[in-house]
Amino acid sequence: MQPDFIAPSILSADFARLGEEVDQVLAAGADWVHFDVMDNHYVPNLTIGPMVCEALRKHGVTAPIDVHLMVKPVDELIGMFIDAGASSITFHPEASEHIDRSLQLIRDGGCKAGLVFNPATPLTHADYVMDKLDMMLLMSVNPGFGGQSFIPGTLDKLREARERIDRSGRDIRLEVDGGVKADNIRDIAAAGADTFVAGSAIFKQPDYKTIIQQMRDEIAK
C-alpha cells in the first residue's frame, strides 16, 4: 500500500489570493494540489484553466498539481495542461471518445494518468486500460460543486476498486473526491482509498495545519 496523500481542492480556496492560499496549504502539510477544471458543458459550473496552472508554477509551486478535468472533449486540454506544468491529469471516461488514446496522450506528456468515475459510472471502464492507469479517482458526489455531502454508496465502490487494483498488481492510486471530512475520512481510508481530495473541509477552516493533521490522525486510527 502506498503512503496516504491529502490533496486539498483549490475550488474552495479564495481565488483572489490563490498563490498565497496554495503556499499556505502546502506549508500546512498538504501533499498535492487538486485542481478542478470545469467547462459549463460537461458539468454545470465554470472554473479555471491551464493559464492558472501555469501561473501557480511561475509563482513557485513545486508540489504535484493534480488536474481533474471535468470537461468535454478532453484531448486538447490535456495537451494544454501538460504544457502548463500539470503533474497528473484525470478525466471522465464519458467525456472522451477514445479513452485509451487520451490516457496515452497524458502519459506521452510525462504526466500521471487516471480515470474519474462518477457515482453511477461503472468501474468496468478501467478493464482494458489498467496498464495505462496511475490513478483511479472515485467521485463521492456528482461533479460540479464543492461543499456537497459524501454519497455513502461510495464506500462499497471503493472496496471494489481496491480489489481491482490489488488484483492488477500495479501501483495505482485510489483517490476519492467529494464530501471528504475529518469525521468520515477514517471509513473512507478503511474502504481502501489512499489519496483524499478535500476542498471545503480544509479551506473553510481558519487553520489548515490543524485540519490536515486531524485528517491524518483519523486515517492512522
Per-residue interface string for the shown chain with Zn ion, residues 167-186, x marking contact by CB under 5 A:
----------x---------
In angstroms, rounded to a whole number, what is the distance separating the alpha carbons of residues 199 and 66?
13
Shortest Cβ 131–Zn ion spacing (Å): 24
| Binding residue positions for substrate | 9, 68, 144-147, 177-179, 199-200
Concerning whether 36 is annotated as a catalytic residue, the answer is yes
Give, for 113, the enclosing helix (H) or strand (E): strand 112-117
Instruction: Enter the C-alpha cell of residue 128.
Output: 482494458
Is 23 one of the catalytic residues?
no
Specify the residue for cell string 496498464.
131
Taking CB under 6 A as the criterion, the residue among 24, 118, 148, 213 binding ligand DX5 is 148
Consecutive H or E run containing 174:
strand 173-177
Q: Does 201 bind ligand DX5 (CB under 6 A)?
A: yes
Choose, from 36, 39, 66, 194, the residue flagged as catalytic.
Answer: 36
- The SS3 of residue 104 is helix
Give the residue among 209, 203, 149, 141 at the shortest CA–CA distance from 176: 141
Is 12 an interacting residue with respect to ligand DX5 (CB under 6 A)? yes
Residue ranges binding ligand DX5 (CB under 6 A) = 9, 11-12, 34, 36, 68, 141, 143-144, 146-148, 177-180, 197-201
